[in-house]
Structures are given as C-alpha cells and as structure tokens.
Amino acid sequence: MKNKIVLYQGKKYKVLYHYSSDYCEIQEENFRFNIQLVHKSELTMFEEKV
C-alpha cells in the first residue's frame, strides 16, 4: 500500500507507511509537512479515470 494515492476527507493523500495494526501514515498531496495517522478503514483507494 506504500506510495499509493488515497482519498481521505475528500482530499488526495499519498500513503507513506502502512503499519501491521492497519494504521497508515498519509501525506497530503501538495503539503509536504501535513502528515496524519489514520486507520485504513477511513481511506478510499483513488483511481484516476483515463
């Protein structure tokens, strides 16, 4: 799941690290220092439509 793009609260984030407890460190796409720890169940996988 590392380096995947996900949606969290309507914004795009990059997964930095996925812990065995199913928590993930995520970083907002355009804000380098905005890192959050959230449970995997709160994330939605982002798929770009081509």
10-43 tens-digit pLDDT: 999 999 999 999 999 999 988 889 999 999 999 9
Q: Where are the domains of the chain?
A: 5-45
Distances (CA, A) of 25 to 19, 40, 42, 49, 50: 8, 10, 12, 25, 27
What pTM value is reported for the model?
A: 0.82
Residue 1 — very low, low, confident or very high, per pLDDT cuts 50/70/90? low
40, 22 contact by CB (below 8 A): yes
pLDDT of 47 over the 90 cut: no
Residue 6 — very low, low, confident or very high, per pLDDT cuts 50/70/90? very high
